[in-house]
Amino acid sequence: MPTTYPPDTTALITGGASGIGAACAAALDKAGVRVITADIAGGDEYVDVTDPTTVTALHERIGAVDILVNSAGVVGPSAPLTDVSLDEWQRTFRINVDGTFLMCREFAPGMVARGWGRIVNLASIAAKDGNPNQSAYSASKAAVIALTKSLGKELATTGVLANVVAPAAVSTPMNATTDPAILARSQQLTPMGRMGRADEVAELIAWLCSESVSFSTGAVYDISGGRASY
C-alpha cells in the first residue's frame, strides 16, 4: 500500500531547521504535505519550545495542524552524573521534556477536534539503555517515551496517534558537540557498524505520520542499525 496523507495535510516540525527535523521536512514536502518548520534558530517560524508564550503565539499564527513532529532537542552535558550541574540537568529537561509536553498540549486538541492527527516525538536509544556520561539526556528521553505512551492511550479513540522514534547515533549537527568517546561507543554497540543518516530516520517518521499507520499508538519505534535489543 502506498504511503498516503489526507488532502490538505499540514505538518509542523519543531527543530525543523536542522538534522532529523530538516530531513523530515524534506520527506513530507516531497510527499505533498504542507510543511511548517519551527525552530529557535531558523526555519519558517520562530518558537522556543521551552517558552509557553512562544508556543501559544506560534499556534495563533499558524492555526491547527494535522501532523506534529517534535524534533527540537539537545544532547545536554557529556559527563558523569556526579559532575552534572543542576542548571545543565534542568536545561536538558526543559528543552527535551517540557518542550515536547508544551507542543503536544498546544496542538493535540486541534487534531482531536478534526478527528485525525499524527504526533511523533523524538526519543533515543539512550532512553532505553541509559548511556554512561549522558544521564540528563537519557533520563529526559525516557520521559519523552513515557509521556508519549500516556498521550497515546489518552487519545486512542480520537483518530490521533502519538508514537515515539528512538534512534541510535545519527550524523547530524547535534553530534558536533557530543563527546567523541560516546559516539565511538555507540558505533561499537551497533551491529551495522555505522551511524544512521537523518534521511533514514525521516523515512520512518514520514510513514508514522501517514494514513498507512492506523493501529499503532503509544509505541516506540527503534531505528538503531540493530543496536536496540528490546
Ligand X SMILES: NC(=O)c1ccc[n+]([C@@H]2O[C@H](COP(=O)([O-])OP(=O)(O)OC[C@H]3O[C@@H](n4cnc5c(N)ncnc54)[C@H](O)[C@@H]3O)[C@@H](O)[C@H]2O)c1
Give the interface with ligand X as residue ranges (CB under 6 A): 14-15, 17-21, 39-41, 47-50, 71-74, 95, 99, 122, 124, 167, 169-170, 172-175
* Least separation in angstroms between CB 159 and ligand X: 26
Q: Which is nearer to ligand X, 173 or 226 (CB)?
A: 173
* Least separation in angstroms between CB 16 and ligand X: 7
CA angle at 211 for the pair 208 and 214, rounded to the nearest 5°: 75
Catalytic residue among 46, 137, 221, 230: 137
Q: Which three cell numbers stand for residue 60?
A: 495563533
| Of the candidates 160, 154, 174, the residue with the CA atom closest to the CA atom of residue 71 | 174
* Least separation in angstroms between CB 132 and ligand X: 16
Q: Which is nearer to ligand X, 88 or 211 (CB)?
A: 88
φ, ψ dihedrals at 11, nearest 5°: -115, 135
Is residue 137 flagged as an active site residue?
yes
Query: In whole angstroms, how far apart are CA 214 and each of 10, 105, 124?
Result: 18, 22, 23
Across the strands, what pairs with 54? Answer: none
Q: Which is nearer to ligand X, 146 or 174 (CB)?
A: 174
Q: Please answer whether residues 125 and 75 qualify as being in contact, where contact means their C-beta atoms are separated by less than 8 angstroms.
A: no
The residues assigned a catalytic role are 137
